[in-house]
């Protein structure tokens, strides 16, 4: 039978305007595997985001041209795929390729990312032309010498071990060093986060001011309208969009916190709009997608945008272009119960607002000149700011404006 096959080369795609290269973190297919059009072939990590590279065609993966952990530029050849009527008859090279171990076969973790869905394989895929190599076990003399282990004779009775041999084995077990942990390479996104956090602290003089806000009225508003809001918008009404709305409104009056400083600290740019960054926790690390023109959005618009960005970060579908260009950042540290923290500025911004957990506490209140004790919903607000251009009084005035808006500035009609 005549086969009509052709070869298609898979190239490293463009992952954003400012992204020139990426790291191959994991191959999802091996040589000889059948792939469908659009099916993920491999995972790639950049300084901004991790993503999957899909197959451009249906066929058989013939050659893998780059190994895991290789850093490759946009346009680099990654693999070849055999397509056409004879694709199913393409040579199976799986015997000549080092197989990627399953998670329970791992000898050491690698750098394939920290998502539970990613296999922490430490082996690197070889090209189809390389011979297969056995995994050496230093405790197994048969594999070191190249001999197969001796198989017991089923017809013969097991031979009892001598007392000397038994004692030697016990001594060997006792002398084996205990396992005190697992050494793993940090994924590229975590290394990038680490470098940027240290760079931020080394770049600017950072200080944090903390206020406490009474959000009891917002809590009541949420309870009264959360079902209607969910039915109308399709997203849950949390506290976060209220904090975002209050912060964005305050930034219009306190522009020094919606600004960026030049590297030589000779100029400051006061931004006319607010591109709001929101810190999102994910299996692959912390990312900060940006909501453009946040000043134009209502509570519902902010709730939709926040939910959309967070969902796509955790699904791995956020694009690099959505992770830059922010002018101010919010981090919801209270989502895991923290009362407050001292967040690190996302350079070159001049401020970042941390939102603590909303907790019910017994607090004193004065009504008609009478002191009473009430249960109120309280939250801490912590603003970290660049003390090179922002003074403590500036930060306090900004938090005062946010606090006042949260404590009395929202009504039911604000939810639409």
Question: Over the stretch 207-233, which tens digit does the pLDDT of each residue have?
Answer: 999 999 999 999 999 999 999 999 999
Least confident range of 62-71, 131-140, 304-313: 131-140
Could you tell me the CATH number of the domain that includes residue 48? 2.40.50.100
* Residue-level pLDDT at 178: 59
Least confident range of 29-43, 164-178, 179-193, 297-311: 164-178
- Whether residues 100 and 226 fall in one domain: no
Does residue 335 form part of some domain? Answer: yes
Does residue 328 form part of some domain? Answer: yes
The whole-chain average pLDDT of the chain stands at 80
Least confident range of 116-130, 159-173, 199-213, 327-341: 116-130
Does residue 159 form part of some domain? Answer: no
- Whether residues 195 and 58 fall in one domain: no
Does residue 113 form part of some domain? Answer: no
- Whether residues 266 and 376 fall in one domain: yes
* Residue-level pLDDT at 177: 58
Is residue 57 within 8 Å of residue 85, measured between CB atoms? no
**Over 90: is that where the pLDDT of 130 sits?**
no
- Whether residues 90 and 201 fall in one domain: no
Q: How far apart are CA 408 and CA 6, in angstroms?
A: 68
Q: Which among 105, 129, 155 is the end of a domain?
A: 105
**Over 90: is that where the pLDDT of 3 sits?**
no
Tell me the three-class secondary structure of the chain, residue by residue: CCCCEEEEEEECCCCCCCCCEEEEEEECCCCCCEECCCCEEEEEECCCCEEEEECCCCEEEEEECCCCCCEEECCCEEEEEEEECCHHHCCCCHHHCCCCCCHHHCCCCCCCCCCCCCCCCCCCCCCCCCCCCCCCCCCCHHHHHCCCCCCCCCCCCCCCCCHHHHHHHHHHHHHCCCCCCCCCCCCHHHHHHHHHHHHHHHHCCEEEEEEEEECHHHHHHHHHHHHHHHHHHCCCCCCHHHHHHHHHHHHCCCHHHCEEECCCCCCEEECCCCCEEECECCCCCCECCEECCHHHCCHHHHHHHHHHHHHHHHHCCCCHHHHCCCCEEEECHHHHCCCCCCCCCCCCECEEEEECCCEEEEEEEEECCEEEEEEEEEEEEEEEEECCCCCHHHHHHHHHHHHHHHHHCCCHHHHC
Does residue 225 form part of some domain? Answer: yes
Does residue 338 form part of some domain? Answer: yes
Mean pLDDT over 145-169 rounds to 41
User: Tens digit of pLDDT for each residue in 230-282?
Assistant: 999 999 999 999 999 999 999 999 999 999 999 999 999 999 999 999 999 98
- Whether residues 349 and 210 fall in one domain: yes
Q: Which among 64, 88, 105 is the end of a domain?
A: 105
More confident residue, 302 or 149: 302
* Residue-level pLDDT at 320: 82
Catalytic residues: 387, 391
* Residue-level pLDDT at 140: 36
Sign of CA dihedral 110, 111, 116, 121: negative
Residue 73, domain extent:
7-105
Domain count, the chain: 2
Q: What are phi and psi of 302, to 5 degrees?
A: -65, -40
- Whether residues 223 and 83 fall in one domain: no
Q: Which among 79, 105, 131 is the end of a domain?
A: 105
- Whether residues 93 and 214 fall in one domain: no
Global model pTM greater than 0.85: no
- Whether residues 357 and 237 fall in one domain: yes
Does residue 368 form part of some domain? Answer: yes
Could you tell me the CATH number of the domain that includes residue 247? 3.30.559.10
Residue 207 neighbours by CB under 8 Å, 6+ apart = 384, 385, 387, 392, 395
- Whether residues 357 and 258 fall in one domain: yes
Q: How many residues does the chain have?
A: 416
- Whether residues 276 and 403 fall in one domain: yes
Does residue 309 form part of some domain? Answer: yes
């Amino acid at each position: 039978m005549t086969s009509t096959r052709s070869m298609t080369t898979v190239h490293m795609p463009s992952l954003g305007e400012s992204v020139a290269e990426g790291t191959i973190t994991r191959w999802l297919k091996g040589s000889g595997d059948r792939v469908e059009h659009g099916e993920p072939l491999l995972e790639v990590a950049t300084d901004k985001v991790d993503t999957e590279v899909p197959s451009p065609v249906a066929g058989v993966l013939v050659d893998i041209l780059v190994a895991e952990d290789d850093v490759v530029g946009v346009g680099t050849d990654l693999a070849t795929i055999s397509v056409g009527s004879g694709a199913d008859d393409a040579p199976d090279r799986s015997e000549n390729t080092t197989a990627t171990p399953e998670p329970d076969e791992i000898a050491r973790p690698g750098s394939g990312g920290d998502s539970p869905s990613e296999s922490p394989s430490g082996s690197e895929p070889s090209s189809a032309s390389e011979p297969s190599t056995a995994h050496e076990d230093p405790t197994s003399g048969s594999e070191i010498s190249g001999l197969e282990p001796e198989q017991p004779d089923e017809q013969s009775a097991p031979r009892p071990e001598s007392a000397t041999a038994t004692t030697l084995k016990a001594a060997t077990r006792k002398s084996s060093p205990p396992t005190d942990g697992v050494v793993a390479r940090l994924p590229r996104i975590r290394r990038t986060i680490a470098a940027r956090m240290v760079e931020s602290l080394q770049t600017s003089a950072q200080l944090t001011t903390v206020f406490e806000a009474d959000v009891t009225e917002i809590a009541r508003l949420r309870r009264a309208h959360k079902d209607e809001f969910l039915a109308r918008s399709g997203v849950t009404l949390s506290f976060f969009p209220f904090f975002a709305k209050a912060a964005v409104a305050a930034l219009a009056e306190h522009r020094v916190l919606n600004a960026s400083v030049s590297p030589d600290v000779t100029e400051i740019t006061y931004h006319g709009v607010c591109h709001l960054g929101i810190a999102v926790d994910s299996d692959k690390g912390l990312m900060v997608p940006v909501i453009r023109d946040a000043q134009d959005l209502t509570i519902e618009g902010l709730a939709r945008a926040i939910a959309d960005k967070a969902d796509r970060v955790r699904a791995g579908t956020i694009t690099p272009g959505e992770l830059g260009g922010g002018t101010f950042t919010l981090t919801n540290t209270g989502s895991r119960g923290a009362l407050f923290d001292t967040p690190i500025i996302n350079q070159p911004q001049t401020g970042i607002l941390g939102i603590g957990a909303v907790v019910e506490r017994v607090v004193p209140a004065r009504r008609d000149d009478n002191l009473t004790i009430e249960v109120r919903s309280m939250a801490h607000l912590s603003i970290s700011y660049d003390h090179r251009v922002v003074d403590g009084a500036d930060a306090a005035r900004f938090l005062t404006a946010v606090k006042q808006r949260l404590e009395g500035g929202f009504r039911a009609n604000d939810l639409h």
